[in-house]
Amino acid sequence: MGVYHHGEHAVQQRAGLIDRAGSLAAAIRSELPTVAVEFLARQPMLVVGAADTGGAVWASLLTGAPGFVTATGPAAVTIDAVPPDGDPLRDVLARPAHVGMIAIDPAARRRMRMNGRARPADGGLHVDLDQIFSNCPKYIQQRRPTIEPATPAAVTTAPSHGTELTPGQLALVEAADTFFIATADAAGNADASHRGGSPGFLQALGPTCLRWPDYAGNAMFATLGNIEVDPRAGLLLPDWDTGTVLQVTGTAAVDWNPGRAAAVPGAQRIVEFTVDRVVQIDRASPLRWTAPAYSRFNPPPPRPL
C-alpha cells in the first residue's frame, strides 16, 4: 500500500474500497514489462499532464509515427515530440518537470499510465519513470486512426481572455464521449487519466462549470486522490474528426452525496469542474479517427439539463 499517498488512501476508504485497492497495489510497477515496451512502440499518440509555473495543471496531446515513444531502459522512455506552439505545456516541458502520461490505443481498447520526471532531450523528452500501470478497457470507444499531416493553427481562446468556454467549445463538450484529465498530488507528482462514456456524459452547466459522473473503475483512485489534496486539474478534449484539441484548466471537486449520484445512471459519485482558463489549438494533431464503436460498459448518459 506504500505506492498510494494519503489522498488516495482517504478516497479509497471513503468509497469502501481500501481492501481492493490494497490488492491492486502490486500492479503499480517501477519498471516497464516487455508487453508495455511493445505496446508503447505501436502508439501514435500520448497524453501528458503537468503543472505550469503558476501551479495550474494542464493536459496536452503529443503525436508521432508509431515508434515516437520508445523505452530506453527498464524505467525510462524517450518521446520524439513536444507540444505544439501555443500549448500551455510547451515551455513547461522545455525544462525538467513532473509529468503524468497515458498511452491509449482506442482500436484495441487498451491504455497504460506512466508517471515520472521529464527533461528535454533532442527536440523531445526523456522521462524517468516512477510508476507504471495499466487500466481495464472499460469506457474506451473503439476508433482507428489515419494520418493527415497538418500545421497547428494559431491558438484561439474564448472571450474574457480565455476564461470561459465559447458556444462552439460548449458544443464539443456536450458531444464528447472521451476526455483526459491531469492532476497532481501535494508534492507535485502528476498523473494523466482517461474518462469515457456515452455522448452527453460530460455536461456543461454553463461556460465555466462542467460536470461528469465518476463510474466504477480500478479502485486505485489516483485522480480523485490527487483532487483530495490539490483540486487543480486540467482537461483535454480531442476533436477526433478535425485534430483540434480543447484544453481547460481549473479546479475539481467531488460530490459524495449518494442522492445526487443515484440520479445519474452508473455514477458512483459526481465531479464538478470550475473553468479558469481555456486554450483551443485547431488542427493540433495530424490524426483523424473513424467513427466510434461505443463501449458496452457505457451507462446511459445523464438526462439533458
End-to-end CA distance of the chain: 40
- Give residue-wise pLDDT tens across range 205-253: 999 999 999 999 999 999 999 999 999 999 999 999 999 999 999 999 9
Q: Which residue has the cell 480523485?
A: 224
Contacts of 121 (CB under 8 A, 6+ apart): 78
Cell of 83: 507540444
Q: Does residue 157 register a pLDDT over 60? A: no
Closest by alpha carbon to 267, among 303, 231, 235, 220?
303
Cell of 281: 489549438
In angstroms, the Cα distances linking 6 to 27, 112, 168, 250 are: 18, 23, 39, 22
Look up the pTM and report it.
0.95
In the prediction, which pLDDT does 162 show?
A: 87
In the prediction, which pLDDT does 1 show?
A: 46
- Reported confidence tier of residue 161, pLDDT bands at 50, 70, 90: very low
- Separation CA 164–CA 170 (nearest Å): 10
In the prediction, which pLDDT does 172 show?
A: 96
**Distance from chain centroid for Cα 229:** 18
- Separation CA 68–CA 78 (nearest Å): 8
Stronger pLDDT, 1 or 35, i.e. the higher one:
35
Contacts of 199 (CB under 8 A, 6+ apart): 174, 175, 176, 177, 301
Q: How many helices (H) and strands (E) does the chain have?
A: 7, 17
Q: Does residue 151 register a pLDDT over 60? A: no
In the prediction, which pLDDT does 148 show?
A: 77
In angstroms, the Cα distances linking 230 to 74, 227, 235, 252, 262 are: 30, 5, 15, 9, 26
The amino acid at residue 280 is Q
% helix, strand, coil for the chain, step of 5:
20, 40, 40
Q: Does residue 160 register a pLDDT over 70? A: no
Q: Does residue 192 register a pLDDT over 80? A: yes
DSSP state letters, 131-173: EEEEE--TTPPB--EEE---PPPPEE--HHHHTS--HHHHHHH
User: If you average pLDDT over residues 68-74, what whole number do you get?
Assistant: 97
In the prediction, which pLDDT does 174 show?
A: 95
**Neighbouring C-beta atoms of residue 187, cutoff 10 Å:** 9
User: If you average pLDDT over residues 267-290, what whole number do you get?
Assistant: 96
Closest by alpha carbon to 80, among 50, 111, 33, 44?
44
Residue 122 region, left (φ>0) first, then alpha (ψ -120 to 50), else beta?
Answer: left
- Give residue-wise pLDDT tens across range 87-116: 999 999 999 999 999 999 999 999 999 999
- Do 181 and 59 touch, CB atoms closer than 8 A? yes
- 222-229 vs 6-14: helix crossing angle, rounded to 10: 110
In the chain the domains, ranked by start, together with CATH numbers, are: 6-289 (2.30.110.10)
% residues pLDDT > 70 (the chain): 95
